[in-house]
A = this chain, B = another copy of it.
């Protein structure tokens, strides 16, 4: 079995697999790339994870995740320290991956601190934190990728809510060290999506492109409402073409948080992901730029 040459399976899609298992089922499904998460890497240890990744022959397309920049005081200082460790891990894992790996650390901004209603202040702190980390990331050769999350997460998870807002932050820094994530789930609804993807392309800011579907009705825990491509309402053609036209030539990750998908065997999910990608994400604009 072989999947699209630019497909990468984000490890969150097979959440309950260990890193060794995740590497194996990804390769077995013919998928050439994997997006890693820090927790399973920590479980195995960084050094052993690096060895396993090198042995797998897979590309590393990103590490999830840094960020959570909106607190103040000691919590903030601890978050910055943790992000420096995440930058180091990103560099090590990407170096161990096959050719075409990307040293990209995905950043989730963080929500409003407990009891705070100061959305503008929280947003300012995100920008300032990236400013505090940018030189460290640059010296490590890592791109900090600001991920706008769907506005329904603005209070409790990420105060960066649109691609335009993520670009407003990223563009204050060098494109070699700060970019953005385009995740269809989070941005598909945005009337400015295509204009902002084009803007991101002009600035060479697209550090990661992720696909998964928006399904309805939303589940009781909306965090787990992400669907396999084809199961929901998103038309992956126009946005994929726009991302390709914007000059993005990296891997396309499939990242799905979904209880039913997590409950299935990881090998089945990897194979299903490859099939759904082939069926719903147009290959032609992707092939053209690779």
Interface on A for B, CB 8 Å cutoff? 112, 117-120, 123, 150-152, 154-156, 161-162, 164-165, 168, 188-192, 214, 216-218, 220-222, 232-235, 238
Contacts and interface: CB of A to CB of B under 8 A. Distances in A.
Of residues A119, A156, A164, A220, which shows the largest number of chain B Cβ atoms within 10 Å of its Cβ? A119
A235 B118 contact: yes
Nearest to A159: B189
Nearest to A123: B191
A240 to B, nearest CB: 13
A250 B119 CA distance: 26
Interface of A, secondary structure class, is loop
Nearest to A214: B155
A189 B232 contact: no
A258 to B, nearest CB: 16
Nearest to A161: B189
Given A218-B222, A222-B218, A233 B155 contact: yes
Contacts of A112: 233
Contacts of A155: 189, 214, 216, 232-233
A113 to B, nearest CB: 11
Contacts of A165: 191
Contacts of A189: 119, 151, 154-155, 161
B117 A233 contact: yes
A150 to B, nearest CB: 7
Contacts of A119: 188-189, 233, 235
A234 B156 contact: no
Given A118-B235, A152-B222, A162-B191, 5 more contacts: A117-B235, A119-B235, A155-B232, A161-B191, A217-B221
A187 to B, nearest CB: 9
A116 to B, nearest CB: 8
Top 8 closest pairs, chain A to chain B, by CB: A154-B189, A117-B235, A220-B220, A155-B233, A165-B191, A151-B189, A152-B152, A156-B216
